Amino acid sequence: MKKTLILALAFLAMLTACTQDDLTFEEPTSNSEAINSEISEDQSGEIITINNFKGEPIEFIKRSDNAYQVDDMVFTNEQFLQIQEMYSGNRSVAISNTSRRWPDFTVRYAIASNFNNPSRVYAAIQSIESQIDCINFIEINCTSPESVSWKDSNSKTPVIIGSNPCETQDYIKFISGSGSVSSSSVGRIGGKQFIQISNAASTGTVIHEIGHALGLFHEQQRSDRNNHLIYNPQNAQTGSGGNFVIPTNQVSVGPFDFNSIMLYSSYTFSNGNGPVLTKLDGSTYTVQRNAFTSGDVAILEDIHNDPTIPIANTSRTLIDYETSPDTQYFEHRYFVHFNLNQSPYTLPSSKVVHYSITTETSNIGGVPNNTQISVQYYTKALSPGQSTYTLHDVITTDKIFDFGQPSGLQYERWLDIEESCSEYYIQ
């Protein structure tokens, strides 16, 4: 089941700001975190205001590097001009679902030599790679020296010193943010792009900012936001209204996700008079900054997966093979189904599938919580000409239940197929 996030492929229509993400006036719970490190306290530059379709102002800061920033989201001059044209009524602009994605879901990155605590970046990348099978982060090492400094103590615009042979590649450069600011470009913009991370930011903040670079906006800007949240503009800081605008053009998938790492908390951008966002019953909520949710992962896979590659789904059928007075024999039959554009996909050529079957044996020695897990690995060649294949048959012995309580060893099994990102995706 997929939930949605707003994507970079629709960013020209969105333009709401990102983040004071977890700025809160309440005690954070164990799975939430006050991330003041994402707040820019003194961003410098010319303020340019654009009214959206509802007449609500969106304030951009034009930086000295000719980029435009709204909180932790950074847009190129070209992107800003397209946004300006769209809201002026000249035309409606939308980006295709491939234009801002990272080709082959491969993201190259480098970490500045003076970056504080780079373990946060490595931990964030490890978390994302553990959740998304087909994403691939590659750290690149530029041979020429490069350093980052700041123009002055009041500037948030980095000044790059030295040459960089990596300029011919599309990649992310992690640099330390000045003060409390963390920010990221939205989607792949071409060439080098920055993710600025405050020294005080957590690994969760790094994941959040990488989410922007991969193409995600914020959950509260979905078209169905008002079916789940109440927006209280009288409690929002002056000039922050653009952060809560619902754009007319966006891409979203699945149900609203209160656990998304991209969601604002109730008190983000609050002026101190109360929550800016509440649930429909008026209650407030906190947000998590631990990891992507399954919905975050689903939308990232949707925009980065190659639409010409089929999707593999698995299923299992339990067959009562033989029954005696005290024993039941079950056959666990596992299948794989290939689909493309929600229709069965017939394999045009042979395909080798690697898979495993995990068995959890419980009630060992008559103790219900005494369990043991074992994994067996297999390889099977599938002949062309079908869309559904039987992968494996397993005969197991299951004891009959006595008054709902197992009287012998009990088994649970499940199948896992190794994803082959160039040949099929797993769903």
In this predicted structure, what is the pLDDT of residue 419? 80
CA distances from 154 to 72, 115, 181, 282, 395 (A): 17, 19, 12, 39, 70
Structural domain boundaries in the chain: 8-303, 311-426
Give the end-to-end CA distance of the chain in Å, rounded to a whole number: 10
Least reliable range by pLDDT among 15-29, 291-305, 397-411: 15-29
Instruction: Categorise residue 366: left if φ over 0, alpha if ψ from -120 to 50, beta otherwise.
Output: left
Name the strands in the sheet holding 68-70, side by side, starting at the edge strand that comes first in the sequence: 46-51, 57-62, 68-70, 73-75, 183-185, 192-197, 171-176, 106-111, 136-139
Is 38 noted as a catalytic residue in this protein? Answer: no
* Neighbouring C-beta atoms of residue 375, cutoff 10 Å: 9
Task: Tell me the backbone φ, ψ of residue 42, rounded to 5 degrees.
Answer: -145, 50
pLDDT for res 57:
63
The pLDDT, as a whole number, for residue 69 is 62
The stretch 268-279 carries a mean pLDDT of: 94
Q: According to the model, what pLDDT value does residue 418 have?
A: 86
Coil, helix or strand at residue 231 = strand
Topology classification of domain 311-426: Immunoglobulin-like (2.60.40)
Catalytic residue among 59, 209, 219, 301: 209
Closest to 80 (Cα-Cα) out of 12, 176, 158, 153: 12
At 383, is the pLDDT very low, low, confident or very high (cuts 50, 70, 90)?
very high
Closest CA to 100 of 125, 81, 75: 75
Report long-range pairs for 48-55 (Cβ below 8 Å, ≥24 apart): 50/15, 50/83, 50/84, 50/87, 51/87, 52/15, 52/87, 52/242, 52/245, 52/247, 53/87, 53/247, 53/248, 54/245
Task: State how far the Cα of 187 lies from the Cα of 214, in Å rounded to an integer.
Answer: 5
Residues annotated within a binding site for Zn(2+) = 208, 212, 218
Q: Is the pLDDT of residue 38 over 70?
A: no
d(CA 141, CA 299): 30
Which amino acid is located at 354 in the chain?
Answer: H
Overall average pLDDT of the 317-330 stretch: 67
pLDDT digits (tens, 9 = 90+) for 67-107: 666 666 666 666 666 565 555 443 322 233 466 788 888 99
Whether the per-residue pLDDT at 400 is higher than 50: the answer is no
Q: What is the pLDDT of residues 331-371, one digit of tens each?
A: 788 899 999 988 999 999 999 999 998 888 887 877 878 88
Mean pLDDT of 365-386: 89
Domain 8-303, classified CATH 3.40.390.10, yes or no = yes
CA separation (Å) from 61 to 82, 83, 181? Answer: 16, 14, 14
- Write out the binding residues: 208, 212, 218
Residue with tokens 């932790």: 72
Q: What is the pLDDT of residues 162-192, one digit of tens each?
A: 555 576 789 999 998 877 778 888 788 888 8
For residue 224, pLDDT over 80 is answered with yes
In degrees, to the nearest 5, what angle opens at C-alpha 386 toward C-alphas 385 and 392? 130
Over the chain, what is the mean pLDDT?
Answer: 75
Mean pLDDT of 374-393: 92
The residues that bridge with 194 in the sheet, in sequence order, are 173
* Mean predicted confidence (pLDDT) in 246-272: 83
